[in-house]
Structure 1
Amino acid sequence: MNPIKRQILLITVIAAAIMELIDTSIVNVALNYMSGNLGATLEDISWVITSYAIANVIIIPMTSFLVNNLGRRNYYIGSIILFTFCSFMCGNATNIWELVSFRFLQGLGGGALLSVSAMVVYELFPKEKQATASALFGIGVFIGPTIGPTLGGYITENYSWPWIFYINIPIGIAAAVSCYFLLYEPAIKQKIKQIDWLGIILLIIGIGSLQVVLERGQTDDWFAAGYIVFLTVVAALSLTGFIIWELYTENPVVNLRILRFRSLSIAAVLTFITGMGMYTSIYLTPVVAQRLLNFTPTQSGLLLLPGSIVAVLALIITGKLLQKGVSAALIVFFGFACFIYFNWSMSRINLETPAIDITLNLIFRAIGMALLTVPLGTLAVSSLELKDMPQGTALNNMMRQLGGSFGISIINTYVARRIASHRMDLITHITPDNPAFINRINGYAAAFMQKGFGLLDAKQKAMLLVEKVVIQQSSFSSYLDGYFLIGSFFAMVLPLLLFVAKRDKKKALVIPSSDH
């Protein structure tokens, strides 16, 4: 391949990966607008995020099979077309569940845009320049999350939320055409194995059922609803059957047997928690900023921009530290420490906290993200044989996506419960013998009377205003509890790093995972 075509192909596959990553974060600042426009609750609208993550969980372990069976070129171009078409359909959705359905299909198409793009980037560089390839692709995958929220905020505020999906269409068409002429099949193909249909079906049923239970349980009073009981049983049986089948079948879709390696099993747990932290923080922060702090979508997106820029620099530094032999476990420790500090700081903000303070907190989140991206992947495969590395990387990536989708569901349930608890706590102070309450009511009533309202109307409006304040403060305190809960998860699993075996001195090539 001549240099010009090589450069065009390199730009194309990195652009495709960035497009996929933009869509993981661009929707977050538009959730409030989608909720109002489609008449959906915040719990329902969160499926726009989780359905995409679940689709990634399903498709990522199948990537090797699909590449070998369909051909890398056909699979990659087909995935771009599916992603682009579903982007158009997402923008045209007329109700929440239509949008969620096409987001799921979009996620199936997006699964190839990261893993296959990474393979192509590495093939385009000679062996002695693999470090350059790693850095280039690593920076590329950070561009998406960096510009996603800011771009989404600007589009939502100045145009309308469907355009956050429509912008994928010209990029997708250009990428598909470019790959049609330039993308080639790899020189060496692995032997095509029989697909593990039973494993895939059990995984889809198990994860899907569990996700519905987590998402809808709080809304429908958990086990008081018959379908929640049914889906809980289905999830337990399917996931148990999946684990047993994958451990004993000859060609598993997810090779769980490699979890016997301590470094991989511990990295999988840490990656799961990391996914929870990354997805929930990018979900909670725009919701808090827009619904409770009255930020515009553009302002919400700009909160995340400085931290994302810092993360690119931190990623470069992390790569150099790993090249110099610094322990991946040590870097992961500091990454977790940054996330713990971020969640602890966010749990202590108030309704008067300025934007600069939230931005500074988000910088710690971004640094933590950069410190975990490559080192967790390195830690995961550090004790694996070369033949097991693709499965180890796929399993680790799957755990991150699972952590993200489960984390958002858990947070929605937890926040809903905490709202009720905080509301009860606040209402206990609304009594006739509470001087602070009486002074607040009298102050509100006096303000309304100055505007021309009579005494009775002024007192009624004052009580309504107190109720509004109670709802706002209950919601705000509950979201802060959500940050604290996620930070607690990070703190609880941190001691696992003490059990990680010493890093293998043999350096292995590791394709960076797509954390964001």
Structure 2
Amino acid sequence: MSSPSAQVAHPPLTGSARVLGTLALSAATFMNVLDTSIANVSLPAIAGDLGVSPVQGTWVITSFAVANAISVPLTGWLTQRIGQVRLFMASVLLFVLTSWLCGLAPSMGMLIAFRALQGFVAGPLIPLSQTLLLSSYPPAKAGLAMAMWSITTLVAPIMGPLLGGWITDNVSWPWIFYINVPVGLLAAAATWALYRERETMTRKVPIDAVGLSLLVIWVGALQLMLDKGKELDWFHSGQIIAFAVVAVVGFAFFLIWELTEEHPIVDLSLFKRRNFWSAALATAVGYGVFFGNVVILPLWLQQFMGYTATQAGMIMAPVGLFAIVLSPIVGLTLHKVDPRRYATFSFLVFALILWMRSHFTTQTDFGTIMIPTLIQGVAMAFFFIPLVTITLSGIEPSRLPAASGLSNFMRITAGAIGTSVATTMWEDRAAMHHANLAENINHGSQVAMSTLEGLQARGMSHEQALSYINNLTTQQAYMLSTQEIFYGSAFLFLMLIPLVWLAKRPKSGASAADAAAGAH
């Protein structure tokens, strides 16, 4: 992200300084990654408190993801203008400020605006934490540095749902944002003490303002279309049609501009490389499908299975256990094993997990629901590192920041789109199933009439009995919809396998640590 000469100017840290530096950088990363998952189990509480539906509440997740995706490609340019350490410090402190504002938000509109701001300022955190960490270790220990960094990013998704659920049930949801304040301030203080004398050289480089503006316009319009589509009845609404037109036209102008600009904000020429486009596309679609399901599961558990936020968090938490154990093994063996085989294995395990979830019913117990989440850690361990290695294989070092920025822009945007598509389909399919089930509840149905009579015999009024049956019908409708989402997602993961094999096997000399350094 900075010039090579700037990076070799400072020797690696030693002793306690290196340990403290690793902890400080990891804490900042932990804080950022935690915020991508901590709100998932808190959505029903946030939505209820602010007077919107839980599906509308998913904007809390998608606004962060979209803004984060837009800011990631800016990291390289900002680093050259400001310097790595100053940019990292600014990003951490602004993240702390926006987290505090999120907790204070009095309405859903304000919360979404602050979450978008939080996502935007968080863009440089992950890539710069990696870069600064690698500069703290000698080249021979780069693998150790990245292993320690990756453990942080795997522990955070475990802690996110657990912490978010506990805070929501026992304190109040604003504290899922307030906890970033002390963590961020401590990380900033330690980072400044250790790294302020290790600032990189800066130089004035032009910014592709038109490209950036077009990027914001088409991505923003696309996300608004996806998020408001269900609420406004899709293309029966002039507003949704307008968003769709802006997204398509904006994307077309963006492509034309970026392909002809001398200093593009996004280097689209990378798509000429087969390994880049095939692996980056597989990563983006796979992550989008995965993230959509990660949002749906706790919503279903809390709204229709009677789980508390803490219990839903406990269901989601085991996802990182196998990932923490297996990720270092994947990194160490990647030079011996074709990464396409590892990625294929990951997709097969994801498909198995989602197929298992497609058999969940309203009678499925806590332990059975947790088993696929535990196995999911295996899939995650074999997902990111092999696919990043394929994506960045053969790319010149000078273009790695651009390649990393573009692939991560695709991944983060796909996560936001996956959330919107999954929640919209979940509600649409549930509405259809509810209508079909309701057709069978009439005076001609012996089962319906006997159930109604039985409820009234227990002391319910006719209206109460009908309301109870309607609630049961809604629960069944959402269960059927959830099963379909999981089953369809399993099929999509199987469809991604041929995409990985379009890529060529990376040369065995490629370092997993080098690939991981560009992962975000």
TM-score, normalised to structure 1, is 0.94
1:36 has 2:41 as partner: no
Q: Structure 1 residues 78 and 160 mapped into 2: Cα distance closer, same or farther (>3 Å)? A: same
Partner of 1:374: 385
Alignment of 1:353-392 (within 5 A): 353-392=364-403
Partner of 2:116: 104
Deviations 1:65-109 (A, max 9, x none): 111101112111111111001111111111101001111111122
1:491 has 2:502 as partner: no
Partner of 1:215: 227
1:10 has 2:15 as partner: no
Q: Structure 1 residues 220 and 189 mapped into 2: Cα distance closer, same or farther (>3 Å)? A: same
Q: 1:111 aligns to what SS in structure 2?
A: coil
> How far off its partner does 1:215 sit?
0.9
Name the amino acid aligned to 1:384.
I
Partner of 1:159: 171
Q: Structure 1 residues 278 and 306 mapped into 2: Cα distance closer, same or farther (>3 Å)? A: same
Is the contact between residue 303 and residue 359 of structure 1 (CA under 8 Å) also seen in structure 2? yes
Of 247, 250, 262 in structure 2, the residue corresponding to residue 238 of structure 1 is 250
Name the amino acid aligned to 1:129.
K
Name the amino acid aligned to 2:283.
T
> How far off its partner does 1:482 sit?
2.0
Partner of 2:279: 267
Mapped partners of 1:506, 1:387: distance in 2: 18
**Range with greater deviation from structure 2 (492-501 or 80-89):** 492-501
Partner of 2:137: 125
> How far off its partner does 1:49 sit?
0.2
1:511 has 2:497 as partner: no
> How far off its partner does 1:155 sit?
0.9
Mapped partners of 2:50, 2:76: distance in 1: 38
Of 501, 505, 520 in structure 2, the residue corresponding to residue 502 of structure 1 is 505
Name the amino acid aligned to 1:305.
A
Mapped partners of 1:86, 1:215: distance in 2: 22
Q: Unmatched 5+ residue regions in structure 1? A: none
Partner of 1:431: 442
Deviations 1:346-392 (A, max 9, x none): 12100110111111111222221121121111010113222222221
Is the contact between residue 276 and residue 486 of structure 1 (CA under 8 Å) also seen in structure 2? no
Q: 1:10 aligns to what SS in structure 2?
A: helix
> How far off its partner does 1:485 sit?
2.8
Q: Structure 1 residues 506 and 192 mapped into 2: Cα distance closer, same or farther (>3 Å)? A: farther
Q: Unmatched 5+ residue regions in structure 2? A: 1-12
Superposition RMSD in Å: 1.7
Partner of 1:417: 428
Alignment of 1:21-420 (within 5 A): 21-184=33-196, 189=201, 192-323=204-335, 325-420=336-431
> How far off its partner does 1:165 sit?
0.6
> How far off its partner does 1:290 sit?
1.0
> How far off its partner does 1:40 sit?
1.0
Name the amino acid aligned to 1:436.
V
Is the contact between residue 288 and residue 414 of structure 2 (CA under 8 Å) also seen in structure 1? yes
Is the contact between residue 275 and residue 399 of structure 1 (CA under 8 Å) also seen in structure 2? no
Mapped partners of 1:296, 1:314: distance in 2: 31
> How far off its partner does 1:446 sit?
1.9
> How far off its partner does 1:208 sit?
0.3
> How far off its partner does 1:59 sit?
0.9
Mapped partners of 2:433, 2:518: distance in 1: 39
Is the contact between residue 44 and residue 96 of structure 1 (CA under 8 Å) also seen in structure 2? no
Q: 1:501 aligns to what SS in structure 2?
A: coil
Is the contact between residue 311 and residue 369 of structure 1 (CA under 8 Å) also seen in structure 2? yes
Name the amino acid aligned to 2:81.
N
Deviations 1:166-219 (A, max 9, x none): 111111111222222222476765864311111110010000001011111121
Mapped partners of 2:87, 2:203: distance in 1: 17
Mapped partners of 1:164, 1:510: distance in 2: 32
> How far off its partner does 1:260 sit?
0.7
Name the amino acid aligned to 1:487.
A
Mapped partners of 1:170, 1:191: distance in 2: 33
Name the amino acid aligned to 2:91.
S
Mapped partners of 1:510, 1:125: distance in 2: 16
Mapped partners of 1:463, 1:447: distance in 2: 13
Deviations 1:233-288 (A, max 9, x none): 11101111111211221111110101111011001111111221332122112111
1:443 has 2:440 as partner: no
Mapped partners of 2:404, 2:519: distance in 1: 11
Mapped partners of 1:465, 1:27: distance in 2: 31
Name the amino acid aligned to 1:480.
Q
